[in-house]
Amino acid sequence: MILKTKTLQMTKTPQTIAGQKQEQDVAFFLRRAFKDNPEVLVINDFKFSFNDETAQIDHLIVYTYGFVLIESKSIKGHVKVNNQGEWTRSYNSQWSGMSSPIKQVELQQALLKEMLMHHRNNILSKLLGIKQQGFNGRCWHYLCAVSSNAVIDRKTMPKEISDKLYKTEFLVDELKNIMNLKHKLLRLVSVTDTRPDFSQRELDSIGQFLISQHIDSNIQQVDTAPAQLKQIQAIPKRPELKPELEQGPKPASAPTHHLAQSTAAILAPVAVVAPDQHPILSCKHCGESTQYTPMYGKFGYYINCNQCSKNTSMKLPCPQCMSKNTKVTKRKETYTLNCVDCGFEKQII
């Protein structure tokens, strides 16, 4: 299950553009492999702070038995690591040193473990209602995913580093070997697998906690519509907004289109329907109505906002009879809102 997508940054230099593309490539393979698996939670581009330190994890996986951290590196050319663990790479036939992504992800893991242990009483339940569970006994792994076109010199590379270094297209295979997930019935009868596991409720609790700790680096780059909305909400009388709510959104070419949609998302139900138009599905947190990713989770279909990284359910009140007895169905890439009471159907994505 994908809890958070990659947050796109405004980048200009070739190095940062290549780095962002590498992270997107890894996120793509993770999504294809685990988007429908509730026992595997994927958080892309996770940034958090704890104990006056800040870390950014390119890809974090929380699964039934523990955690896997993945550091993405865009490397074009050759990469070597000597016996001291020092990294070098070639670019345009020129060799230069680079910081070790393995050491980097080790530090990230240590800080993540500290934060989870500090909050364990609020995340995990007590064993048999007596002993508080923790995270030290869980499985902890970290890997480095490099560009598929990189040339890795494994002959002189220490084995402990080579075992953690994978090209993007082989990453999922290694993750499945590490997680070694079995059917629930096989877990009950297995006597060889002694790994302590998280219940589904505990997994969901961990995921919710981590998402609540995420620091959005783009928070200052989001357009000014939310700030404008706060000013509008502070005005007791807003007659100028009433026609927008009654007549539906203006064409996309109108300059107030985004503001009108976002305002409707806060001052009225999330959906605003005009004749022969889709109900407007927008983020209930920031009002974003175009930049989001459809997803499926424990409570049904929802959208993950690319602006604020928060989730909003697709299950809206019926635009025709205002009944809350609705459901969302999916066919290929089309999502449809269905009202059980009046039979109303409308495509929302």
**Strands across the sheet containing 87-91:** 94-98, 87-91, 77-81, 150-152
Say if residue 91's pLDDT is above 90: no
Gap between the Cα atoms of 327 and 258, Å rounded: 27
Range from 1-5, 83-87, 138-142, 189-193 carrying the lowest mean pLDDT: 189-193
The identity of residue 149, as a single letter, is: N
Task: For the chain, give the mean pLDDT.
Answer: 79
Gap between the Cα atoms of 139 and 152, Å rounded: 27
To which residue do tokens 């959104």 refer? 249
Other C-beta atoms lying within 10 Å of the C-beta of residue 135 = 20
Cα–Cα distances (Å) from 127 to 92, 131, 197, 198, in that order, read 57, 5, 12, 11
Element (H, E) at 80: strand 77-81
Q: Which tokens hold the place of 54?
A: 């800040």
pLDDT (0 to 100) of residue 65: 94
pLDDT (0 to 100) of residue 273: 39
Secondary structure letter of residue 241 according to DSSP: G
pLDDT (0 to 100) of residue 323: 84
Range from 66-80, 270-284, 328-342 carrying the lowest mean pLDDT: 270-284
The identity of residue 92, as a single letter, is: N
Gap between the Cα atoms of 79 and 86, Å rounded: 11
The alpha carbon of 301 is separated from its chain's Cα centroid by a whole number of angstroms, namely 15
Q: What residues contact residue 325 under an 8 Å CB cut-off, 6+ apart? A: 318, 339, 340, 341
Instruction: State in Å, rounded, how far the first CA of the chain is from the last one.
Output: 20
To which residue do tokens 């205002």 refer? 322
Range from 26-30, 126-130, 156-160, 304-308 carrying the lowest mean pLDDT: 126-130
Gap between the Cα atoms of 54 and 80, Å rounded: 29
Cβ 181 vs Cβ 161: under 8 Å: no
Cβ 349 vs Cβ 335: under 8 Å: yes
Gap between the Cα atoms of 22 and 17, Å rounded: 9
Q: Report the predicted TM-score, pTM, of the whole model to 2 decimal places.
A: 0.62
Cβ 206 vs Cβ 63: under 8 Å: no
The 10s digit of each residue's pLDDT in 188-244 is: 667 678 888 898 999 999 999 999 999 886 653 333 333 333 333 333 444 444 444
To which residue do tokens 């050759």 refer? 78
- Cβ-based burial of 5 (10 A; exposed 0-12, middle 13-18, buried ≥19): buried
Q: What residues contact residue 164 under an 8 Å CB cut-off, 6+ apart? A: 102, 142, 143, 144
To which residue do tokens 């000597």 refer? 82
To which residue do tokens 């070739």 refer? 14
pLDDT (0 to 100) of residue 59: 97
Q: Which tokens hold the place of 171?
A: 């990453």
Gap between the Cα atoms of 194 and 116, Å rounded: 22
Beta-bridge partner residues of 67? 62, 140
